[in-house]
Structure 1
Amino acid sequence: MIDYLQNLSPVTQAFFATLFTWALTAAGAALVFLGREIKPKILDGMLGFAAGVMIAASFWSLLAPGIAMAEQLDLIPWLTAAIGFMAGGIFMRLTDKILPHLHPSMARSEQEGIKTSWQRSTLLVLAITLHNIPEGLAVGVAFGAVSAGLPTATLGGAIALTIGIGLQNLPEGTAVSMPLRREGLSRGKSFFLGQASGIVEPIAGVLGALFVIKMQFILPYALCFAAGAMIFVVVEELVPESQRNHKNIDFVTIATMIGFTTMMILDVALG
């Protein structure tokens, strides 16, 4: 597979990679065809696993390579990392504050972002769509970085990140489709809306790759930006959502560690 990808442009690589992550979002949403419910403990564990994957990916696949690139480009590594990382978090906070959305465990009255009369189902999809933006961006930036020819950016590392993001997209698709099914939507519509939350990833991936190819001098900042955006999602959404049932905290914590370990192995083995 690596040999085949090497013959493609970075933008095409990013496009196919984010199609893969979108497909796994759809696979997670497809669980709605197996039933109306999934045990809360299992879903919490899946979200904890996703959080672990994203934390590991943020460091191993994004932040650490960004710092190394800053050194190679004669930038101040700690300052580059701090600026990029915080910019990613601030960007997600601003987006979170503006875009109307609703997390699955919240009542309609707890809608975040600009107030709107949109249906609850639309707001649920937008919540996951919002958090898929940094994931697609991270994959796109990773493939775009390979084209810079810097030793810290490898195709294997970009593939590892893609696999990790794809794995954690499974529970995200489920986290949309199952609540919609419980609220009375048909299985087909619940699946369609669940998988639709991942459509933003190919868009963000292609834009991320194009952006860093055109302006390679911002690569270290872009990698750290993607890391900050992903950590924001983990702390603001995945961890609270996975630990809302205090009886499952230990189980979720272990699932988070398993997710972190899985992503770390992928990155070290392939990167």
Structure 2
Amino acid sequence: MEEILNALNKITKELDMQRHEIRETGKNVTEKVTQNINQMLEEKFLILEEKHEKLKEIVENQEKRLYYLEKQARKRNLVIFGIEETETSYENLETNIMKWIDQYFALKLTYSDNQEVKRVGKKEKRPRPVIVTFLTLGMKIKVLKQKRALQETQYYIKEDYPKYVLEKRKELQEQLQLEREQGNRARIKYDKLIISKNFTKRKLPISPENVTASNIETNTQTNKKNKIQQRSTSVKRSNSISEGVIKPGILNFLVNKDTTNITRNQENNL
């Protein structure tokens, strides 16, 4: 019986060892499998990330191109507000716009100066704005420079901006008002707020050269006055140098010529 029990114990120990080995090998296999799967997933993720970055760059470039094209397409446009909606056809609208520009801006346009004229928005009680596309940018600038002629009228003109630019400009209005309240010069240019702070003008310090020049001027004027007063006295002087006649130095000739000429004329008169 003891031999049988010993044999059974050995068998159970061997089975336990085999189970432990099987579990360890299973763990190793699962770890290797998971590592391989993770590595494959990481490689695929990196590939997808690179593709995503490339697509993102392409989309950004396309958006920039669309942004530039839309900006260029609206560059020669002007939006006119307040013109009565009485036209019955495209030709009638175009002639009305040409007459209106001639009336308020004294610019006689021809049909070749306009590329397109159209109204924007839903038809309501109030007149819809008119977008005028000029053939050249110079003609648009001529009209835009004279927009002050519409100050006392119901009409007004504006630049033609895309929708997202209009929204951006609307957001910047509050900041524009705050900057102006603080005393800064601010304006909205396209979709950006440009601020130029007011700086107080400082007095420039007087340089030593200016100081010496001013001192020289005052000294020469006082010397010449003394000289005139001395000549006006009844005392006769000789032409000798020993009697203290003051001769002008080189610095006196650097003073303004007008002052020297005036003093010479005064001396001759005296």
- Global fold match (TM > 0.5): no
**Counting strand residues as a fraction of each chain, which structure ranks higher?**
2
Q: TM class, shorter-chain normalised?
A: under 0.3
Task: Compare relative contact order (CA 8 Å, sep 6+) and give the higher one, 1 or 2.
Answer: 1
TM-score (norm 2): 0.18
Structure of higher CA gyration radius: 2
TM-score (norm 1): 0.18
